[in-house]
Amino acid sequence: MPGKHKPTLAVWKFASCDGCQLSLLDCEDELLAVAGAVTIAHFLEASSAVLPGPYDLSLVEGSITTPHDAERIQAIRKNSRFLVAIGACATAGGIQALRNFADVEAFTRVVYARPEYIQTLQHSSAISEHVKVDFELRGCPVNKAQLLEVISAFLHKRKPNIPPHSVCLECKARGTVCVMVAQGIPCLGPVTQAGCGAICPAYQRGCYGCFGPQENPNTVALSAWWTHLGVDETAQQRAFRTYNAGAQAFSKEAARHG
Amino acid sequence: MDDSAKPRHTRTIRVGNLARVEGEGALYVRVKGNQVEEVRLDIFEPPRFFEAFLRGRNFAEVPDITARICGICPVAYQMSSCQALEAALGLEVGGQLKALRRLLYCGEWIESHTLHIYFLHLPDFLGYPDAVRLAQDQPERIKRALQLKKTGNELMTLLGGREIHPINVKVGGFYRVPRKAELLAVRDKLEQAREIALETVRFVAGLNFPDLKPDYTFVSLREEGAYPILQGRIVSNRGLDIPVSAFEQHFQEEHVPHSNALHATLSGQPYLVGPLARYNLNYDLLPAPLQSLAKEVGLGPVCRNPFQSIVVRALETLYACEEALRLMGEYEEPDAPSLPVVPKAATGAGCSEAPRGILYHRYQMDQQGLITEAKIVPPTSQNQKMIEEDLRQFVAAHLELPKPELTLRCEQTIRNYDPCISCATHFLRLEMEHET
Ligand code: SF4
Ligand code: SF4
């Protein structure tokens, strides 16, 4: 629209696999429309053109794992009108949060011959532990359609329509027969937030929780079911310690096992 | 100030944040007089410790976990992981299951190569900061590129459940295999993709390339009777020809002071992995029409110009489209989606051709199938020394260029490699000591 300020979009990366920001480039059908609706002001994976802030919408991928990153996120927050954390790394610390349950120095010695060169924090933490976030989009990786919904909601100043129910409802919607009930396959679907479209059960495997805990999950009841299916304690602990190991409901449940 | 006029002085090139690479990195070059004193590709990617926390995980969880090393080539991580674990368990995944793995991998090559060609690399040649701005002037070209990329992603989604971090890959095969009709449903799209890939080859071959032909040591896999994707022996243009299990006897990773990353070397020397290496070592395995096309567009059986890697990527994209069509045509539904797996105490190594080059994994597990040791050597860590070597040569030969242009060309030199910095599982950041 002539004369109207085009909102600016910035994409930031912390410790991550790049998958969540890649999801934006994977929106092949909508990418050019998005690029027409916003000014891409900072998106290093995609563009060498960098505009100065402040930015209307910042999407933040990745978790905070170094002292330098803990400072960088503060500057980004100051420079952003809305800040949305995208993906399991940014909302729960990601897979790299497995260090939170171990001794980082021992980890460093396993990977590096000269551990004294490594600067890292004991914990991998979510963005919301450092700054105020306006919205958290779950998933490892985020779902493309949900990502587009969040972007357009913020551009239109409305609340994103992201349902908080469990993966089970998506299985029902998709017509997938419950793999846990029918085949005895251990599944985290009942405690995991929807958003993926219930992919795993449709491919004959249990959900492994990549979208993190749903609102108020009954993890205790689920564990009892898994025990009944013959899953041992350490395996139950591992199941809650993956891509959302740092999410409170999962870390609490994991601590009950093992 | 034009400091190039004063060759005795120290000149530095710094690029604080490299754009259009995957992950985050920076460049530092220091020139003194006519000497390139120092070249560093700095990686700020914080350590993520995969090799450490894989210890204690069940082998069956490994392909889901290692996929998270890199969102751009998760299939490569899944394939190298599975093959390493299968080697340990003495399993041979063959027949249609192997064909499906190759098909899934073709999807990743198409998607990842197209991303690199059009989004990361091409804007340099045409003088744009990104593909989106390029699309304002050449909308058709970018729309076609997006269609090509999307087809790669659709293939990954069909076989893997989704394109980023597929959920359908397991040790021994797949959780579910597709019906023949499901595969044939994407056939038309792949045929269109093949046309776009062909156009892409001709188009990128016509770009202007700086003249540079380093005498690289190329390293790639060599697969029995087929252009290498899934597996094979590790070979070089200097006579190396070893099984994957011997990788660590020939390749070393060093963690040296004053370097910012683990550098892999082949008997102490830098080497190159990726499309150029694959092409030069396996040209004879390309189907005859692709060989003629390569000749027609001016490539020939040997291509040593790193800037022309964009042409080789385009050729490989076309190959992947054709290979996918062939595999689909020959597909028969297997009896079972996977082979039965019984854990035992064992060690095994696996290697596959990620779009950026060979990706090596080794795992040791105990009787219960819990991992006791993991080693992962990603392509970018292997190319890191070579990237710095290329930069050194390029800067030395172009000292007369004004600094902004030299800086841009250095960035372009890095992007030739498609370095995937987030996949660099164990890069690290190290502060440099500066001369005073
Ligand atoms: S949440 Fe998963 S997909 Fe997203 S950046 Fe982190 S590891 Fe990658
Ligand atoms: S693990 Fe669960 S949330 Fe993730 S894709 Fe599978 S079903 Fe969806």
In order, the DSSP letters of B205-225 are HTS----------BEEEEBTT
Question: Which pLDDT score, from 0 to 100, does residue A1 have?
Answer: 43
From A140, A127, A124, A194, select the one nearest A23 (Cα to Cα): A140
ipTM tops the 0.85 cut: yes
Q: What is the 3-state secondary structure (H, E, C) of B370-419?
A: EEEEEEEECHHHHHHHHHHHHHHHHHHHCCCCCHHHHHHHHHHHHHCCCC
Ligand nearest to the CA of A144: 1
Query: What are the pLDDT digits (tens) for A102-142?
Result: 877 776 776 666 666 556 778 899 999 999 999 999 999 99
Interface contact flag, B132 A47, Cβ < 8 Å:
yes
Helix (H) or strand (E) holding A4: none
pLDDT surpasses 80 at A212: yes
Interface contact flag, B49 A99, Cβ < 8 Å:
yes
In the DSSP assignment, the letter for residue B120 is I
Q: From the CA of B315, how far away is ligand 1's center (Å)? A: 30
In the DSSP assignment, the letter for residue B192 is H
What mean pLDDT is reported for chain B?
Answer: 88
Instruction: Report phi then psi at A231, rounded to 5.
Output: -85, 125
Sheet harboring A80-86: ordered strands across? A39-43, A8-13, A55-61, A80-86, A135-137
pLDDT surpasses 90 at B49: no
Q: Considering only A193-207, A238-252, B253-267, B396-410, which range has the smallest mean pLDDT?
A: B253-267
Q: Hey, is the C-beta of B368 within 8 angstroms of any chain A C-beta? A: no
> Taking the mean position of all CA atoms in its chain, how far away is CA B169?
20
Environment class of residue B96 by beta-carbon count within 10 Å: exposed (0-12), middle (13-18) or buried (19+)? Answer: middle
Q: From the CA of B108, how far away is ligand 1's center (Å)? A: 17
Q: Hey, is the C-beta of A178 within 8 angstroms of any chain B C-beta? A: no
pLDDT surpasses 80 at B429: no
From A12, A18, A142, select the one nearest A86 (Cα to Cα): A142
User: What pTM, to 2 d.p., does this model score?
Assistant: 0.93
Query: What are the pLDDT digits (tens) for B104-119?
Result: 999 999 999 999 999 9
Q: From the CA of A226, how far away is ligand 1's center (Å)? A: 27
Q: Hey, is the C-beta of B411 within 8 angstroms of any chain A C-beta? A: yes
Average the pLDDT over A198-203 and give the result: 98
